[in-house]
Structure 1
Amino acid sequence: MLKLKIIVVDRTRSSFLKEGESFYLERLRKYVQVEWIEVKPAKIKKGRPEEQILSTEGEAIARKLAPRDYMVPLDRSGHEFDSEQLAAWLDRLSTNMGGWVSFIIGGPLGLSKELLDRADKVFSLSRLTLTHEMSRLLLLEQLYRACTILRGEKYHK
C-alpha cells in the first residue's frame, strides 16, 4: 500500500478549504495510508530576510522527514503531470518504494532553495501562482483522483 506524507507549513485558516481538505483526506484514506503534518511557520517580521524565514521553515520540515522518504516538494517550477501521468507515477512509486512519499507545501513565501535542491522530484500543480492553502486542497483532490484512476473507478472522466 502506498504511504503518503503531506507536510504543510501552517494550518489552513479558510473554513471552506478546511472542509475540502477533510473531505478529500477521508476519501483518500480509503486507498492509501496518509499522514497529514502541519509545521509551525516562521515569524515574518519587517526586515527579516526571506531566506532566513524559508531556512527556518525548511529545517522544521526536514525534522518531519525520515531518511527513506521520497521527497516531493511542490513548486511552480516543478514537473507537471496530467492526472493519468500522476496516477502512473504514483503506481510506480508504490511498487518500488519502501518508505513514504512525502509531498511538501510551503507557506506564503514558498520553500527554501536548499529544500528544493534536496528533493527527489519537484512537482508543480500549475504554472499559475496558487495560495499555499489552495494548493493543499488541489493536491489532495489530485491524489484522490489518481487513486480512482488506478482502481478504474468512474470519478475521473
Structure 2
Amino acid sequence: MRICFVCVGQVKKAGISEAAAEYLKRIKRYSTVEIAEVKDESASPKTPREDILRAEGGRLLSKIKPGDYIAVLADSGKEMTSGAFSKHIEGLMVSGRKRLVFIVGGSYGIHQEVYDRADIVLSLSRMTLPHDLARLVLYEQGYRAFTIMRNEPYSH
C-alpha cells in the first residue's frame, strides 16, 4: 500500500525539515511514500477565511484519487494510541487498499469539503500544533506504526 502525505505548504524550519526527512526515509523501508505539497493561499488580512480554506481545500482534493482511503488530521479528530494507529494501518493494508492519504492542512485549517471526503479524521493531540510539527509527529508515528506491525525495535 502506498502512503501519501498531502500537505498545505512546505516544512520551513530547518530542524523540523531534517527530522521529517529522516522519518520519511525510515518509512520508505516499509512502504512506497509520496509527498504532495500544495501551495498555501497567500491572502491579505481582509481575505475571508472561507475563501482561503476553499482555495487550499480545492488543491488538497485535487491530489485524491478514486479508491483512496483519506485520513484528515485535525485537533477535533479521533485520538489513537500508537498501537491502535499501527493496527488501523495494518487493517487497511490487509483490506487491499492501494493508497492511504494523510491530509495535513495549513495555518487556516481545512475546508469542510475535505472533511466530507475523509474516511477518518484523526487527532495527533487535542492541542493545536503548527503544521510543520504536525507533519513531523505524523511521520514519526507512521514509522513507529510499521515497527510495531513488524515487532521490530523502534530505535533501529
**What TM-score, normalized to structure 1?**
0.96
Alpha-carbon separation, structure 2, partners of 1:38 and 1:97: 26
Superposition map of 1:5-154 within 5 A: 5-154=4-153
What is the aligned-residue identity percentage?
A: 37
Give the aligned residue type for 2:29: K
Alpha-carbon separation, structure 2, partners of 1:49 and 1:15: 31
Report the Cα offset of residue 98 of structure 1.
Answer: 3.0
Deviations 1:24-67 (A, max 9, x none): 01000001111011001111212111111011000001111101
Alpha-carbon separation, structure 2, partners of 1:126 and 1:116: 18
- Contact 2:69/2:97, CA 8 A, preserved across alignment: no
Gaps of 5+ in 1: none
Instruction: Kindly report the root-mean-square deviation, in angstroms, between the aligned alpha carbons of the 2 structures.
Output: 1.0
**What TM-score, normalized to structure 2?**
0.96
Alignment partner of 2:7: what SS? strand
Gaps of 5+ in 2: none
Alpha-carbon separation, structure 1, partners of 2:92 and 2:129: 26
Alignment partner of 2:36: what SS? strand
Alpha-carbon separation, structure 2, partners of 1:87 and 1:130: 22
Alpha-carbon separation, structure 2, partners of 1:54 and 1:127: 21
Alignment partner of 2:25: what SS? helix
Give the aligned residue type for 1:124: S
Report the Cα offset of residue 81 of structure 1.
Answer: 0.5
Show structure 1 runs of 4+ deviating over 2 A.
Answer: none
Report the Cα offset of residue 78 of structure 1.
Answer: 0.6
Give the aligned residue type for 1:18: S
Alpha-carbon separation, structure 2, partners of 1:45 and 1:94: 43
